[in-house]
Amino acid sequence: MVDLKGKKALITGASSGFGADFADILAKKGMDLIVTARREDKLNELKEKIVEKYGVNVRVIVMDLTGFDAAEKLYAEVKDENIDMLINNAGYGMYGWFERQDAAALNKMVQLNVVSAFVLANLFAKDFSAKNSGWILNTASFAAFNPTPFYAVYGATKAFLMNFSVALRTELKKQGKNVCVTALCPGFTDTEFVQTANQKRSKLLEMIIGRSYPAAVEAVNALLKNKPIVMPRLMNRFAALFLRFLPRSVAAEAAFMSIRDKE
């Protein structure tokens, strides 16, 4: 059992969903927290709740993490805080036909999902390697395993994040570094994701959607055991295994039929 009491975690995208769940789970284990997102009111509510429940220290940083400079700015804000764990959770999706989407908006999503994540991982991997201790959890997605029509760019960002996480973990392991890296790859989960992505919650989606808190618990446990990938729920693991044996074009067709909103 890893003792996290008195250690400190930085959680991005902490205002709701998985981010807020991670804050609760880690605070329960005795970790002090730095939580960041764009919505100051949500972060302050989270801080009040966490402090009241667990008595740990919580620092709020309100910031839009879109892009390289933003990630560097956040690191500069916290580099002297002796961070022990990075939870790279900030990100969102955009649902729709690719050619009907706005390129500038897609670029902003890529900047957040990919650029800010690998910049923060790079900066903290240096620190964690130097002290030979640390944990990095990157929130990817089930979409990382399959071409995903209507989430074409989002799915690609999550494929990047998953493969990047496993590669980084391998590099650190081969150097004998005591630094753990895990990619969380959940399926559809009952967070703000679907609403933010502007996707309708179909009857099928309502049937398969999972809860975020148990998935977050599973993710933290996997991170502490230095597992490369964690995919909550047996249904998701079975589907991912099944898709591995299909040609990518067929898998994409299957995803198209399951995700498409009726027009």
Catalytic residues: 154, 158
CA dist 94 to 160, 229, 232, Å? 16, 24, 22
Q: What three-state secondary structure class fits 6?
A: coil
Angle between helices 68-78 and 117-131 in degrees, nearest 10: 30
Q: In DSSP terms, which residues pair with 161 in a beta bridge? A: none
Region class of 180: left (phi > 0), else alpha (psi between -120 and 50), else beta:
beta
Sheet holding 58-62, edge to edge: 58-62, 32-37, 8-12, 85-88, 134-139, 179-184, 229-230
As a whole number of Å, the CA-based R_g of the chain is: 18
Q: Supply the DSSP string of 58-119, one letter for each residue.
A: EEEEE----SHHHHHHHHHHHGGG---EEEE-------S-GGGS-HHHHHHHHIIIIIIHHH
Region class of 233: left (phi > 0), else alpha (psi between -120 and 50), else beta:
left
- Provide the CB-side half-sphere exposure for 260 (13 A, CA): 11
CA dist 32 to 25, 51, 124, Å? 11, 10, 17
For residues 32 and 56, the answer to whether their CB atoms sit within 8 Å is: yes
